[in-house]
Amino acid sequence: MPAYDADAVAALAEQQVSWQDKALPPAFWGKTVAEVLAGKPRLSQLPTPLMTLSAAGMRHNVDTLASWCQRHGVELAPHGKTTMAPALWAMQLDAGCWAITLANVFQLSVARAHGFRRVLIANEVISPLQLRWIADELAADPEFEVLVWADSVRTIEIMEAARSAYVGPDARPLDVLVEVGGIGGRTGARDAETAVAVGNAIAQASTLRLAGVAGYEGAIGHGVDEADLEEVREYLRDLVEVHHRLRDLYPSDVVPVVSAGGSQYFEQVAKVLADLTGEGARVVLRSGAYIAHDDGLYRRVSPLGETPRTDGEQLIPAMHGWIRIVSQPEPGLALFDAGKRDLPFDQDMPEPQLIRPRADGEPVLEATGMTVTKLNDQHGFLTFGEVPVVIGDELRIGLSHPCTAFDKWGLIPVVDDPDAADPVVVDLVRTFF
C-alpha cells in the first residue's frame, strides 16, 4: 500500500483560494490553486507581508537528509508539526521517509484526512475520547499504523482503562513506545527503573503493545561544543540501556523502534544508536526543521549547517519573508509592514538580505548594514546605515525557526528562485494549524 492517499493530497490543488488566504491578492480569490498556478504568477503580483518557500531549496534539503540517513543506516520520520503541510509530508515520504511524526491527535486527524498510513505521535495520549477515535481508525483501516509514547505507569493505566472499556478482545493493540527523559528535560521517565516499569506495564496490558523506546535529546542538550555533545551522547546511551533491558518484553512480531533525533543533534543520535539496527531494532530520527532549514537557529546548530559536524552537503535556507517599508519617522529608522503575527521571532529577529529592484531593469541590492531590532504585532523596526531604504522598498528577509514560521500562514507560495529579481510562484502549500 502507498504511504498516503495521493488523490487526497492532489485534491488540495482543487481548493479555491479566498480572502482568508493572506498570501494572495483579491485578483486570485475564487480561483483554485491549480488555476492560480496555471497563470505562472510572479512574486511582484503578491502582497506584503509574505512568507515563501524555495522549491529548489526544499528539494535539496529533502534529498540531502534522505541520502545522509541511508549512508548512516537510520530511518527518518520527520516531525510534521513543523510544517503541518500534507503536500510536504508526501514529498518527504516519496524521498524514502519511514513515517511522519506528529505531536497530538488533532495533527493525526489531518494526517488521516489525507490517508497517511504510518504516524508516530511523539507525545502521551491519555484522553479517552482521543483513544477511542484512534481505536476506530485502527479498526477501519488495517494498513494504518500509529505509535504513541508513555512515560509513567499511571499513563498506561489510564490508556488501558479507556481502551479496554471500548474495544473488544480481538481489537488491534495500540503500539506504545516507552519515553525516556532526563533531568531538566521535557516529558519522559527520569530514570531507567521507571522506564522499565512502564515497559512492564505496557507488556501486561491487554489492549496495548510494547513497540520500543523513544526520547528527545533536544531537551537535554543546550549547545554544540564538545561538552554539550557528550551530554547528549550520555542521554542517548541511557536510551540504549532501557531498550536492552526491555528486549525480552517485546512481542515476537514487533521490530522494536528506538527513536530520537531532532534537527540539532541527529548526527549524535546516529553515532550512538545506529549499531542497534544490527541487533534487530529500527532506529528512527524525527528531524523536522531540515526541510526549510533557516537563516538563524538551525543555520548555527544543525549538523549540516554553516559549521558542519558530519559528512554530506550543507542544508539550504528555504524559507524567506518579504516586507515593505511603510514609514521613515526618524533618521536611520524605517518601519515595515510585518510583525509577530507574520514572522517568527522566538529564536532570532529576521535578517535583512536583499532589496528588490525599485524599477524594471534595476538590480537586486544587498541589504548590507541593516538590522531588524524589534517586532510589534503588525510592524517591524529596521535600522540602516550606509545603504538607505526608502518608503515603498521591498526587502527579502531571512527567518529563524521554521516551527514558529509555518503556523502563521495558511497558504504559502513556493517560488522557483528566491534570489531572482521577480521569482515565479510554482506551488501553493496549504497548512493546517
Nearest CA-CA partner of 320 in 24, 48, 42, 61: 48
Largest CA distance in the chain: 74
Written as one letter, the residue type at 266 is F
Q: In the prediction, which pLDDT does 394 show?
A: 98
- Could you tell me where in the chain the CATH 3.20.20.10 domains are found? 117-287
Assess contact for 432 and 110: CB atoms under 8 A: yes
Cell match 494549524: residue? 433
Assess contact for 320 and 54: CB atoms under 8 A: yes
Written as one letter, the residue type at 371 is T
**First and final CA of the chain: distance in angstroms?**
28
Backbone φ and ψ for 39, nearest 5 degrees, come out as -80, 0
Q: In the prediction, which pLDDT does 2 show?
A: 80
What's the grid cell of residue 57?
531549496
Backbone φ and ψ for 256, nearest 5 degrees, come out as -65, 140
DSSP track, 68-81: HHHHHT-EE--BGG
* Pairwise CA distance, residues 188 & 193, whole Å: 12
The domain covering 6-54+315-430 belongs, at the CATH homologous superfamily level, to D-serine dehydratase-like domain (2.40.37.20)
Alpha helices in 247-362 (DSSP H): 266-273, 297-301
Q: In the prediction, which pLDDT does 139 show?
A: 98
Over the Cα atoms of the chain, what is R_g? 23
DSSP track, 174-190: EEEEEEB--TTSSSSBS
* Pairwise CA distance, residues 285 & 292, whole Å: 17
Where the chain has pLDDT below 50, the residues are none
Q: In the prediction, which pLDDT does 7 show?
A: 98
Characterize 219-255 residue by residue with b for buried, 16 or more Cβ atoms within 10 angstroms of its Cβ, and e for exposed. Answer: bbbeebeeebbebbbebbebbbebbebbeebbeeeee
Predicted confidence (pLDDT) per residue in 234-253, tens digit: 999 999 999 999 999 999 99
- Please give the C-alpha separations between residue 51 and each of 23, 33, 45, 186, 402, in angstroms, as whole numbers: 8, 17, 14, 31, 11
The CATH classification of domain 117-287, taken from the options 3.40.50.720, 3.40.50.150, 3.40.50.800, 3.20.20.10: 3.20.20.10
Task: Count Cα atoms within 13 angstroms, Cβ side, for 107.
Answer: 23
Task: Tell me what percent of the chain is helix, strand and coil, each rounded to the nearest 5.
Answer: 35, 25, 40
Written as one letter, the residue type at 180 is V
Q: In the prediction, which pLDDT does 358 show?
A: 92
- Could you tell me where in the chain the CATH 2.40.37.20 domains are found? 6-54+315-430
Q: In the prediction, which pLDDT does 274 show?
A: 97
What are the E-state strand segments in 103-256?
118-124, 145-150, 174-179, 208-214
Q: In the prediction, which pLDDT does 77 show?
A: 98
